[in-house]
Structure 1
Amino acid sequence: MPSLAPRLRLLAVSLFLAGIFQNGLSAQEPLPQPDFAPVVKQMVEHSVLPGYQKLITAAMTQGRVLETLCQAPGPEQLQQTRDEFRNLVIAWSAVEMYRLGPAISDNRQERLFFWPDRRSRGLKQVEELISQQDPTALAVEDLRKKSVPTQGILALEYVLFGRGSENLATASADNFRCRYGVSITQAITRTADEIVAEWKNPDGFANLLYNTGPENPTYRNDAEAMQDFLRVISENLQSSRDMKLANALRENPAASKAKLAPFWRSNLTLVALQADLTSIRQLVEAGGLTKLAPRLTSSLDFEIDQASQVFVEQLKKPQSWSALTKDPASHKRLSYSLIPLAGAQNIVADLLPEYLGLSLGFNSLDGD
């Protein structure tokens, strides 16, 4: 993990930003608590559900391309399959933050994305499954009964980009590794389908968000529903900054550990981080938070844009993610992105809730 000094610098920056924003708002009293019901409904219908539907579509498309590779292996088809994986990662990153309701039931979040994989225990299970050519992994019903690391997006990344994946271009038709990849795409589709079904069910999670009150087992009022959405945004920013970026960058290029970030094998780490930020912007705009708190959401957009510019800039370079973390100039720029990410989280976790009369409370990432 990063040393204490960088963490204290980031904390100082965050507190400084908080002081600026608070002073800027001190001249006006917070508005009476607004009606959050339409905001929550718009977030669900214009962001959450379309996002999961795109994930389902991306997984199905990835499966079809993989099927073609399995039937007619070749370098060009392998490259096309790998290129399609980028779309799947972007689709996943758009919904990764929704760690609530259906996503946290039945370990669905982990089924889709088992990360962080401490001590590479999940990776070892995937490697063992491939080396043993376990035939039960080729049937999606059986695969979904196995451990969660063997059926998600990172398992598929190893199939397509991990050790021995180049053999997919020259292997015989319908080889085990390729068929296992197809089975993973089917498992991803099934899991995402279940999440959507639980959101849409007449008595499902969306209904809980839309009909808050004393009889509701989860949300007593619309404010609590709104708080949950701000919480998942805050946690997503925290995960991107601390767990994905800072943990990989460390104090300097020599100390960096690029492989601690997700999607390093496919060189899609920055693509995923950029998609994370895009999803936050889209959610805020889709729900209409920009109208409830225009000054703060404008500041949030500015902070996100500062980090996003760094990612876009680095994505234009030909070096891999691992090489970027070792390059002094790139390491410096990537480390800078931690500052606006800290500012963005401060706005979502502290300033926005205070202005809207909310309290985020429990953070599910505390202790990670």
Structure 2
Amino acid sequence: MRAPLLASLLCLFLTAPALAQNGAGQRETVLRAAREFIIPRYEALAKATKDEQEAWSRFCAAPRKEDLAPLREHYRKAADAWSGIEFVLYGPISTDFRYERMAHWPERKNAIGRGLSNLLAHKGADDLSPERFAQTSAAVQGLSALERLLFEQDAATAFMDGTEVAARRCGVATAIAENLAGTSAKVLDEWRRPDGTLSALQTGDDARIEDAATRIATDYIALFEIIEEQKLGAVMGDGTDAVKPTLAEGWRSGRSAHAIAVNLEAADALGRILVDPATDPGVSLTYALRTARSMAESTPANIGEAAADPKTRPNLVLLRDAVHSLRETAQSTVPEALGITLGFNSRDGD
């Protein structure tokens, strides 16, 4: 679940200039985005989450301390795959609360903690079947909850002490992994099947294509606002004494900076489809993307710790400024290249 953004993308009022795409060009771009970016990213997500599910099944059959590190690596791969597509809300990911069930961040009112406590307190496994588990709170169904089970203090002991409590913990983790794999597979199938989203775009009229272009562009630009204001700004606060490290995405697994770098890598890949990199606007967007991405890749893994340290905080400020500049560049180049006018931000529910 995404919190309402501090400043939604309200009515940018960009008119389509002479260089904007015509209907045929817009259709080609949307189809390329689907075929070359969105579907391959969901293929990677489906594979990573399936591998993760299988790893949990093996681990829980005979938990051993030495198998915990490979299990965590499977988690990181699945989380990376999600970071590479998470900003695209267009398509089947937006139905049946699938987006919220993949990852619950930012967390509100300790929803994950409360939900996991309730789950772990139960006995048996009847409520962990895919059908029953899908009815639980979205907060405990995804990567954010799995991270807490896998990376919190004493995780090794909690899974391997041979008690009913440990068995239940393994059961809950396996149910989460199954849900992630199942949701990812369904989204991929609904994109690729004969009556799916890609087919609808291929045969759709100009209005459908324009709607897809507008929604994809809105999702794309919203990513930079999320990085600037939530993934960085909310954690950094106004100074070293106002840092909120536990607001960082993936702080338990040490992925808060890495997740941003993966977001920007994905944005770079999609950006080259949305805006021709051989044009001046494309050059500007690519430069802004790679500047921010390079900074993110050199940022300390733990954003909270870096923000609280007077020596490393200036680098985070520079990264935030670079993302702000990237956001402005995307706002001025992407809608123009697609020949669209952006309206409300879909993440605000409008």
State the TM-score, normalizing by the size of structure 1.
0.83
Q: 1:250 to 1:144 in 2, by over 3 A?
A: same
Whether the aligned pair in 2 keeps the contact of 1:231 and 1:349 (CA below 8 Å) is: no
Q: Secondary structure at the match of 1:175?
A: helix
Counterpart for residue 95 of structure 1: 85
- The alignment status of 1:303 with 2:293, answered yes or no, reads no
Separation (CA, whole Å) in 1 of partners of 2:346 and 2:20: 29
Counterpart for residue 33 of structure 1: 21
The worse-fitting range, judged by mean Cα deviation, of 39-48 and 135-144 is: 135-144
Q: 1:171 to 1:251 in 2, by over 3 A?
A: same
- The alignment status of 1:363 with 2:345, answered yes or no, reads yes
The worse-fitting range, judged by mean Cα deviation, of 132-141 and 144-153 is: 132-141
Counterpart for residue 312 of structure 1: 297
Correspondence list, 1:1-368, <5 A: 30-31=18-19, 33-34=21-22, 35-133=25-123, 135-168=125-158, 170-172=160-162, 175-213=167-205, 220=207, 222-285=209-272, 287=273, 289-291=275-277, 294-315=279-300, 320-354=302-336, 356-366=338-348
Superposed CA offset, 1:222-274 (max 9, x none)? 33322222111111111111111111111112211011122111111111111
Separation (CA, whole Å) in 2 of partners of 1:355 and 1:182: 44
Whether the aligned pair in 2 keeps the contact of 1:140 and 1:184 (CA below 8 Å) is: no
Whether the aligned pair in 2 keeps the contact of 1:125 and 1:149 (CA below 8 Å) is: yes
Shift of 1:313: 1.4
Whether the aligned pair in 2 keeps the contact of 1:73 and 1:171 (CA below 8 Å) is: no
- The one of the two structures with greater contact order (alpha-carbon pairs below 8 A, sep at least 6) is 2
Separation (CA, whole Å) in 1 of partners of 2:148 and 2:161: 16
Q: Which amino acid aligns with 2:136?
A: K
Shift of 1:124: 0.9
Shift of 1:204: 2.6
Shift of 1:108: 0.6
Q: Secondary structure at the match of 2:341?
A: coil
Superposed CA offset, 1:83-124 (max 9, x none)? 221111100001101112211111010011122221112321
Counterpart for residue 9 of structure 2: none
Q: Secondary structure at the match of 1:98?
A: coil
Q: Which amino acid aligns with 2:117?
A: E
Separation (CA, whole Å) in 1 of partners of 2:283 and 2:123: 52
Separation (CA, whole Å) in 2 of partners of 1:163 and 1:131: 18
Shift of 1:129: 0.9
Separation (CA, whole Å) in 1 of partners of 2:209 and 2:302: 45
Aligned residues: 333
Q: Which amino acid aligns with 2:182?
A: R
Shift of 1:182: 1.4
Q: Which amino acid aligns with 2:186?
A: E
Sequence identity (%): 24
Separation (CA, whole Å) in 2 of partners of 1:258 and 1:57: 31
Shift of 1:142: 1.5
Q: Which amino acid aligns with 1:202?
A: P
Q: Which amino acid aligns with 2:21?
A: Q
Counterpart for residue 216 of structure 1: none
State the TM-score, normalizing by the size of structure 2.
0.87
Gaps of 5+ in 2: 1-5, 7-16
Shift of 1:134: 5.8
Separation (CA, whole Å) in 2 of partners of 1:150 and 1:366: 22
Q: Secondary structure at the match of 2:110?
A: helix
Shift of 1:32: 5.1
Whether the aligned pair in 1 keeps the contact of 2:274 and 2:338 (CA below 8 Å) is: no
Shift of 1:146: 1.4
Q: 1:204 to 1:367 in 2, by over 3 A?
A: closer
Superposed CA offset, 1:309-364 (max 9, x none)? 2222124xxx7443222112222111211112112222222333235432111112
Separation (CA, whole Å) in 1 of partners of 2:113 and 2:197: 32
Counterpart for residue 4 of structure 1: none
Q: Which amino acid aligns with 2:313?
A: H
Whether the aligned pair in 2 keeps the contact of 1:74 and 1:168 (CA below 8 Å) is: no
Whether the aligned pair in 2 keeps the contact of 1:40 and 1:226 (CA below 8 Å) is: yes
Q: 1:64 to 1:284 in 2, by over 3 A?
A: same
Counterpart for residue 12 of structure 2: none
Q: 1:38 to 1:132 in 2, by over 3 A?
A: same
